[in-house]
A = this chain, B = another copy of it.
Amino acid sequence: MPEGIRVRAPRSDAAKNRAALLDAARAELNRDPDASLDVIAAAAGLTRRAVYGHFPSREALIAELAEVGAARVAAAVDAMHDPDPVLDLALVGRLVWDDVEHVRAMTRTVVRGPLRDQVLGGALGPLHARIVADVRLAAETGAGRTDLDPEVVARLVEGAAFSVLDESVRTPVGRAEGRRLVILAGLGALGLSWREANDVLGAHAARLTEEAEA
């Protein structure tokens, strides 16, 4: 929606600075969820005042940050599927973790904060739907639990992932260990025994735990 009559193209450094602001915000909010615009702008090599040339408010900045991140996750997860619901769930766990692992604290604050519904209901809506579908299919197949509503189970699965996120923020957890924990915790919430969960892990090591080829 081009509203004003541009007599000249926007300067190229504008977009660059905007991106720098988003990057800086991601990094700073990853360290301190309540980082002020001042420190974010400084980290981007700009002034607080300049931020308002790119974003109407602090909230708008963070919201865009969250949406970009959510879109990234959604894209990463959409790139791989499996017909087996249990394996698919494990796969989702791995993909999400890989994409989020380096911005754990930031993810945590978004997912625990007021942006939660906006993000989970927005770009990540399809992901939730996929989890619910997997849970339901697993239940019908006999692999997953049938004692709880699939919607609730999906929430517990997601909650288990968030628990791992919490744990990984408190005590350092490596990338590989994080993957394993997310998958095991998720399958546990789905109703698998720990042996079954490990069987899944072992039977599909290539897709679940091994590093992607460079």
Contact = CB atoms under 8 A, between A and B. Distances in A.
A156 to B, nearest CB: 6
Contacts of A166: 159, 162
15 contacts: A144-B194, A145-B194, A147-B194, A147-B198, A148-B181, A148-B184, A152-B181, A155-B163, A159-B164, A159-B166, A160-B189, A189-B189, A190-B194, A191-B197, A192-B194
A98 to B, nearest CB: 20
Interface string A129-145: 00000000000000011
B192 A185 contact: no
A61 to B, nearest CB: 21
Nearest to A196: B193
Contact of A160 (B144, B146, B159, B195): B159
A167 interface: yes
A99 B148 CA distance: 24
Question: Looking at A160, A164, A196, which has the most chain B CB atoms within 10 Å of its CB?
Answer: A160
Say how many copies of this protein the assembly contains.
2
A194 B191 contact: yes
Contacts of A147: 184, 194, 198
A83 to B, nearest CB: 22
6 nearest A-B pairs in the assembled complex, by CB-CB distance:
A159-B163, A191-B194, A145-B194, A193-B193, A188-B188, A155-B167
A196 B156 CA distance: 18
A112 interface: yes
Contacts of A184: 147-148
A155 B162 CA distance: 12
Contacts of A156: 160, 163-164, 167, 181, 185, 188
